[in-house]
Structure 1
């Protein structure tokens, strides 16, 4: 297999050529009057919790452009009133930059004065239960039987879900790890130490986690746990317990579980965002997702598309959901669109069209993909076909409330004027 060298690739990009990508429309962005047009709010009347709960849903940037069979990993954020906007914004930013897959992010808000209800009721050093917690299984039922079915009915959810909890909700996150081990694939547990709880017998919550991993089949899970350095300094046993947990899980790494613990050099809740960043990196290592697209380009006929499909098929198999290549990307040429123009400029039109059709098979409502296809037909001298696809690009942009409508209108009008 012959890969195009970086030097040749750059030469192609900067040299004069028949067809150049329009860099002014990198990616879909809504022209809605709302700054958060991709966020919806729902209220669920919960039988498990005997009251209403508010959930916020943030959809990926390209959600409107993908096909009905494309599903997305789900990130469930507890303490939604505190964490939802930060986590959803960070996940979107990372996905835009190919550091992780695009995901649907859901924040579950706490009702007033209920935040600690979800933690297993802790037991102190004297063996006495503390005053809070004890409703962990009601919360688990709420998520399993009410939240997830609602989301799966209304959104395209993949069977790969991540749960994020902080302090009391981190205790619940660990409880769900062992109590319902198939509910989530990834767990980000922030500001959490080991503890004993009512109903756990002589075992701690870390003991429960270890036993759950021992008994699980080969379905892999991801577990990240953190603590601010100040918390560990006040209670050195925290680090001892983390190290004990790591030793106990080591025989199962990485086949059954990927595990990481760390101390964050921040105070209290200032450690939250660094922990979330590390947790996502454990679950979705950037080097696996931020692939260098120029390395897909090959001299052999058809090999470029085969290389693209092979990489994303491997990712899909690893995670159990369809890993999507980037058709378009903010302020970055590392994407399918750029490869198409490289092939056009080499007059490898059949290969270029095959990649655009692959792009459209995943993003059938992408105006940019159709606009790129129009450029391909223009390069081939087929203006009628180019006009057809310019019109389709504009139609989709209008339907999607795409801020690039004026760009597609201008491209269409320019093409019409050349046909007169």
Structure 2
């Protein structure tokens, strides 16, 4: 017993000694927040109030030129603010690895108002047969169209390709928008709304009925529509399964309608969000069209830059907005910066110059772009232009390590005066 006590005491002494040493040795030398977006209040003259927004921009937004415009994913209502980080994380990662276009993510707290809703006994025991309207949806529609969209276009180069993510009761405004043909969004993503679609704008009529009437009308372009449901929701109430079956039956009969219904096994009400977003992105931006292999493209017969432009012009035509080859990507060969170097190695220096020039056009504030152009000129035996662009890179570089390396490079290509 005494030996055990001694061992315990010795162990405690060592633990305390090590802990004290660790406390003494570990200090924080620098500390700063990790910024993933911005939160702001947008003052609306139409609504006569301030609207809370969270906005996250693409990773390369600050470096990119005005040639780059971005689709927007809106997450509306209280659910939007709650799940902003989740959706933004998915989008940012997949955009960064070029599995989808670089995209702005915006959440709008309070941005999902509703007209009168007849709940049709879909939502527990309610004292009346309908919920009164809130938030004036027609005015919110005007706010989106006349204030929010122009603001995003002017401040963040947003384009007119807009998706909305609507979760549970935050689905009311997007459903109302879709049923009444308001044309705010080109993609509607509904999650956890098996009960909501059984409600309606008039007695004994459901959202499903309204959707079927609206979407059966001829239209030049129908929006993409996704309904993503957890199986746990359908097990709660038989009527929720009936709603989903009715939705599938009615919308599947509409020829040419881009409609997707997914039911997720072993998932709860909000649990489907990540799986659903991954499925939506894969359907909308299939890997067969994305994840371009830049080296394979420039290896084809013809000019390297023209081959890249042809590929991305076809992608742009398919999606209806300008999709450009990536100037830079972390740890990837699929970027203009690498392709310029790759072409130099292939003894295609003149083409490397063209690619590097495009790099500087797309990212005029990037010192790496001008360094790439300098090295392409050097490979093409144009030392004067190499030095000129290396000096531009030096002026743009912020960190001393980069400046030192660029100075060494400039000295190495500058003729020695004897």
TM-score, length of structure 2 as denominator length: 0.80
Gap change, CA 1:264 and 1:81, over 3 Å in 2: farther
Gaps of 5+ in 2: 1-30
Tell me the alpha carbon deviations over residues 285-312 of structure 1, each in whole angstroms, 9 at most, x when there is no partner.
233221222320225341x323321221
- Residue 50 (structure 2) aligns with: 52
Q: Is the partner of 2:85 in helix, strand or coil?
A: helix
Which is higher, the Rg of structure 1 or of structure 2?
2
CA contact 2:198–2:240 (8 Å) conserved in 1: no
- For 2:403 and 2:391, locate their aligned partners in 1 and report how far apart those are by CA, in whole Å: 8
Query: Which residue is equivalent to 1:229?
Result: 231
Matches within 5 A, 1:113-124: 118=114, 121-124=117-120
When residues 301 and 47 of structure 1 are mapped into structure 2, their CA distance, relative to the original with a 3 A threshold, is: closer
In 2, Cα distance between equivalents of 1:214 and 1:358: 45
Against the structure 1 CA distance between its residues 245 and 295, is the aligned structure 2 distance closer, same or farther, given a 3 Å change threshold?
A: farther
Which protein, 1 or 2, shows the higher relative CO under an 8 Å CA cutoff with sep ≥ 6? 1
Indicate the residue corresponding to 1:218 in structure 2: 220
SS in 1 for 2:160: strand
Q: How far does the alpha carbon of each residue in 1:7-35 deviate from its partner, in whole angstroms, 9 at most, with x for none?
A: xxxxxxxxxxxxxxxxxxxxxxxxx9542
- In structure 2, the partner of 1:18 is none
Alignment partner of 1:417 out of 393, 411, 414: 411
Picking from 66, 69, 76, the partner of 1:68 is: 66
Task: After TM superposition, give the deviation of residue 316 of structure 1 in Å.
Answer: 1.0
Contact 1:349 1:380 in 2 (8 A): yes
* Residue of structure 1 in register with 2:34 after alignment: 35
Compared CA separation, residues 351 and 258, structure 1 to 2 (3 A): farther
Counterpart for residue 263 of structure 2: 262
The offset of 1:64, in angstroms, is 2.0
Report the equivalent of 1:242. Answer: 244
Q: Matched residues in 2 for 1:294 and 1:323: separation?
A: 18
Partner Cα separation in structure 2 for residue 312 and residue 284 of structure 1? 14
Aligned residue in 2 for 1:143: 144
Query: 1:227·1:264 contact (CA, 8 Å) conserved in 2?
Result: no
SS in 1 for 2:247: helix
Quote the offset at 1:77 in angstroms.
1.2
Deviation of 1:201 after TM superposition, in Å, equals: 5.7
**Please, which of 77, 88, 102 is the counterpart of residue 75 of structure 2?**
77
Other-structure match for 1:9: none
Deviations 1:154-206 (A, max 9, x none): 221111001111101123222222324421111111101222323x4654212
1:368-413, Cα deviation, whole Å (9 max, x unpaired): 2222112212223433322222222243444xxxxxx445313311
1:290 is aligned to 2:291: yes
Residue aligning to 1:16 = none
| Number of residue pairs matched by the alignment | 375
Paired position in structure 2 for 1:328: 328
TM-score by length of 1: 0.80
